[in-house]
Structure 1
């Protein structure tokens, strides 16, 4: 076998993924955008490690930078591949009209400088009429015009549109005004009738810019949910029952939603620190081709087993998914390799796509990084990160055990083979390159010996550079610059999502709808705690549909988790319950982003793929309920109880996979055996001596029946 074969197997894993509306610049334009993206990443590394900024100022700059780079990188519409010149005349006319909107945007930005000079000169506040007519109105006109004209402008991949340039100027104007005002005593007036009107007008423009960028990078789902919540702010007082509330004026609401009560709150706090740091870390791994090694290693270890590429997908997607931060993004990066290979050994289009979707989704619950979910949970709950990461270990093992056996049993039923030796990388060579895991090991060790998350992440980035010097892809200044550029560009999607989720969190906190939802759960719990948990599950999945993991959890944690805690559930258990269902919304029909992304690669039917991925990830829908009945699954018990709960739960998910796939003791399980296996699985997963004994008894019956069928 050629020593170069591993590079061929995993070729392209670390390549940049170009979205349908993403621009590809060249020449001077490319240099400018590359400098902005690399500078943006470097700015965060500098401020997080060397010279911190004031918290609100840092978060404002964080969002503004993402908006500027995002509008430069992502067009409002997908590019016309058939005939780019088809609407050239219309394009020139719209471009000319869009350019006119640059005038009010620049005027608003100029007024910010005037305001700053006035405040520096000793003024206590700015004339409201000046704020409204010389800053707010021009800013809103420019923002609205830039967004609307962007929707109808054809455009090309190689150049930025005037409408997007206008939005970039508006983003600068919003950030500049907020930086000026929030660094004065006027900051204390937010949320009151004395708040400067300019704050509200800047917040309206800022929210519009955030939602427009979110639409460009993730689609309409999160934007529509945000709009529904914003509409609720002003129509909520007219709604009956628990949804009604006293009401907020436009000025009071918007003067506070762009503070740490909303957009600048927990979601942006996490995206501006932990998330962007680990995205930069992932970019350094990508630039040094470590991602290819991860996939090659998975092929070397699992490729020979029956259905080998599917098992490779489980290992590789779990490794990459915990860093990636989005299930759908992980599907695109690793699925482009694993899905065709699964098809090659006999998996159907639907099954190959479903396996990749389920595995990539599992990466979001894989400690220590958990797709950034652990950091958001730590920020919201105040529970130490290390405690959350340790609690996630057993649930992650259960999930991937279930997915592995679902895949293995399907391969056994279909008589699949693994890949041949001449189709796989050499395991010996992969083991000799195991030093490429050092950055991950350093990250984990640093976190658990007491380093801060920021310091541990920075050490991991540095170690990724050092380790690359032992490979053909050694990182010098050019590759480090590329990694910084990749980090800046890759962070745009998740930052936009977190900021948009912050709008929803702001609505929930400012209107009190979360508390009223908690009261509803309490009312359901009086009838049945199980019914309340099922209701909470459906709401978590519903809120997460169509959204990346980070936003899905942030929103569900604001709405559902407080209600579960009021039921008497431990905060860690409540948040893990919500987190799991927010994550698996990516594989839950009818809106399953990860499944749809996988179907796009496999060529399968999207809905059939999402149903299949739901079935493969079925353990993720069962295990969270067991957190409630057995906290030992989250490590909250004596180590002997934790060990027993883990062993019986692993046996349970094995039997659950056997029941769902209908394969047990080397042959198909009959209609009598499968329900027995399912019942045994649920009782073993639950934990407890009585349920374990019952489960073992049911299992014994199932084994006897299956052996009798086998002998017959």
Structure 2
């Protein structure tokens, strides 16, 4: 990303943002050249286009021969499980080829080419396993009866398919951890892993196609299903380690370990004893890896990733940030408010909070430091703002699609319900930023430092793809059809700009989408492992009973406990995985308390999102600290403070459903207005700045009390809260107490 400057007669250089939505290059991503680049790029583009074609009802023959049917059909021609298996296998294969298992050699290190030669037998074994899966398909097509009891079939699956597959998978993963090659080289261990992913997919498609899915979890399930699931699980966890770090992998490993030691644990953690064959034969089904997380990643998520790639090619992301600078840059502490606006716009189409920080923070954080924010606060503001993008309708990152899949609530209804919570979140961030700027007597940016509003308004048509998406959703079109229309409109709108999208640009957009989708697909697959463990062991239901027991003492205490568990489960994980896990563990317990399903899931979704700025493991804050140069823990603590209102808002849902659009227009407007006032009081209390001056500690407590009184949304508590705030104003104006020196020394004021 760059910030271009254009000279003016006064020699002032206004900021013109370029490349803000370009994907950062990860430290372990390979940068291919020549033939390798052409081959990988083609595969990525075909992979992304395959999803658009399949989701819109094109048959395989149409995709292959070009006999296109332009009608948007509601169903997919591919069988659902097979589609998800292919979706996962494609991401695994591409992921292993693109992301290295370890770092690249430095100038003083030699390449370990001998590992490539050592991997050749593994490649032959993986190809043999793949060939056996094809042989099984031919055998079954010829009338062979397949089950888990026949000894001949069991021998074939164990030793002719399973053994080569497992040896290749395990050994290739281990070798990839130590294999250093040039950044442009394709390594043999990763080719082996890609073939293993294809072998897993081929076998499962063949066996599930014989209706053997009905036998999963029973003695009639072929042993090959369990072996393929073990190999697939290892492949998913290894790719997740490469693209998202160890946090989610470690949590998945703990859950998998729980399956086999749970029968030895006390209390609600105790689970029935289960064999590995039975468990894994069910894990790679719609109760686990092929369940809600993969269902969403293979449909809605990848569709909107393609939409984001088309917006990137048409330079809409640059326009979003320039538009934000033009509108908000003049306000005091301008770059911080630009970060709020731009991160909200970018974050709603970006699948991760940390990715949003990297996309916009590399520009906004240095500018915030320039106008007077210290590096810790600058990073914290960007982290909090970028995290909020995950709750910004209509797209809301990826978690909202999983919510629709799990709850059965229409996506459009979820997007509407998210409007007021999103407003409250960003208003709270704005108040915190504005009060911080007031305390520091900061200025805004000058007109000659900013893009011209008039020029930005001339390009307002670049919002058309977003508007088409919103209008299509509210007209009742399916999410798939609305997303497809938005993709097409992004290409069409580009023809009104100097950056017109031609055939090459469209292909490049599909290529970028293929690469961008790998991380989120791997994360969703890994989250599916956890969801599968929760579902198959019944620990989620037992956790619900714990919540019910706590609620007997205090319902508020039960909600607080649910909040802590949601944040704990989400720490170190991307938003999608964090919500998927919390929705499986916590949400059913809240529903059992009598809380409406939408409210319960929004409750855990909110806390899964803000786990990205919650110490001690705050991914968004850590990403911001890397850009600002501040201490990571200090940045995460500061971002927690700035986003403090986000930890109150979910409790507002519980006490006042009107905040989720459940009520009359008058009820919604009144609840929203009082909630905004309450958020302001909370921000003023936290920042210690109210009505143009610093506030003494006991008045700050009074403001926080006023804010909390307005959470419930009832007339009585609202009036009491307003009365308390009025008392604070009166004391501050009449007596004007000054914060003590001790408080100043501690930084509390």
Shift of 1:325: 1.1
Cα distance change, pair 6–567 in 1 and its aligned pair in 2 (3 A): farther
Shift of 1:93: 2.2
- Alpha-carbon distance in structure 2 between the residues aligned to 1:711 and 1:545: 41
Tell me the equivalent position of 2:459: 433
Contact 2:613 2:621 in 1 (8 A): yes
2:723 aligned with 1:700: no
2:15 aligned with 1:15: no
Shift of 1:534: 0.9
Q: Secondary structure at the match of 1:347?
A: coil
Tell me the equivalent position of 1:64: 89
2:220 aligned with 1:213: no
Which has the larger helix fraction?
1
- Alpha-carbon distance in structure 2 between the residues aligned to 1:624 and 1:580: 7
Greater shift in the superposed pair: 413-422 or 359-368: 413-422
2:252 aligned with 1:226: yes
Q: Secondary structure at the match of 1:439?
A: helix
Deviation string 1:378-428 (CA, Å, 9 cap, x unpaired) is 110011111111111111111100000100111111111111112100000
Contact 1:14 1:287 in 2 (8 A): no
2:348 aligned with 1:325: no
RMSD of aligned alpha carbons: 1.4
Contact 1:261 1:509 in 2 (8 A): yes
Tell me the equivalent position of 2:120: 99
Tell me the equivalent position of 2:41: 34
Tell me the equivalent position of 2:205: 179
Q: Secondary structure at the match of 1:152?
A: coil
Greater shift in the superposed pair: 632-641 or 428-437: 632-641
Tell me the equivalent position of 2:583: 557
- Alpha-carbon distance in structure 2 between the residues aligned to 1:709 and 1:109: 81
- Select 1:44's aligned residue among 44, 51, 54: 51
How is 1:572-583 mapped onto 2 (pairs within 5 angstroms)?
A: 572-583=598-609
- Alpha-carbon distance in structure 2 between the residues aligned to 1:160 and 1:105: 17
Contact 2:380 2:639 in 1 (8 A): yes
Q: Secondary structure at the match of 1:10?
A: strand
How is 1:580-659 mapped onto 2 (pairs within 5 angstroms)?
A: 580-659=606-685
**TM-score, length-normalised on structure 2?**
0.93
Tell me the equivalent position of 1:536: 562
- Alpha-carbon distance in structure 2 between the residues aligned to 1:96 and 1:312: 53
Tell me the equivalent position of 1:670: 696
- Alpha-carbon distance in structure 2 between the residues aligned to 1:237 and 1:366: 42
Deviation string 1:206-252 (CA, Å, 9 cap, x unpaired) is 00000000000000111111111111111111111111122221111
- Alpha-carbon distance in structure 2 between the residues aligned to 1:376 and 1:629: 25
- Alpha-carbon distance in structure 1 between the residues aligned to 2:348 and 2:624: 18
Contact 2:13 2:448 in 1 (8 A): no
2:573 aligned with 1:547: yes
Shift of 1:637: 1.5
- Alpha-carbon distance in structure 2 between the residues aligned to 1:569 and 1:48: 34
Contact 2:19 2:315 in 1 (8 A): no
- Alpha-carbon distance in structure 2 between the residues aligned to 1:8 and 1:675: 41
Deviation string 1:425-458 (CA, Å, 9 cap, x unpaired) is 0000000100000000000010011000000000
- Alpha-carbon distance in structure 2 between the residues aligned to 1:50 and 1:7: 48
Q: Secondary structure at the match of 1:324?
A: coil
Contact 1:653 1:685 in 2 (8 A): no
2:81 aligned with 1:74: no
- Alpha-carbon distance in structure 2 between the residues aligned to 1:404 and 1:265: 38
Tell me the equivalent position of 1:489: 515
How is 1:125-524 mapped onto 2 (pairs within 5 angstroms)?
A: 125=146, 127-524=153-550
Deviation string 1:551-588 (CA, Å, 9 cap, x unpaired) is 00000000000001101111111001000000000000
Contact 2:300 2:401 in 1 (8 A): yes
Contact 1:302 1:311 in 2 (8 A): yes
Greater shift in the superposed pair: 342-351 or 450-459: 342-351
Contact 1:308 1:417 in 2 (8 A): yes
Contact 2:197 2:235 in 1 (8 A): yes
Tell me the equivalent position of 1:54: 79
Contact 1:37 1:488 in 2 (8 A): yes
2:113 aligned with 1:87: no
Greater shift in the superposed pair: 293-302 or 9-18: 9-18
Moved over 6 A (4+): 3-7
- Alpha-carbon distance in structure 2 between the residues aligned to 1:599 and 1:709: 41
Contact 1:7 1:292 in 2 (8 A): no
Contact 2:435 2:689 in 1 (8 A): yes
Deviation string 1:616-644 (CA, Å, 9 cap, x unpaired) is 00011011111111111111122211111
Q: Secondary structure at the match of 2:549?
A: helix
* Structure 1 unmatched runs, 5+: none
**TM-score, length-normalised on structure 1?**
0.98
- Select 1:112's aligned residue among 115, 119, 133: 133
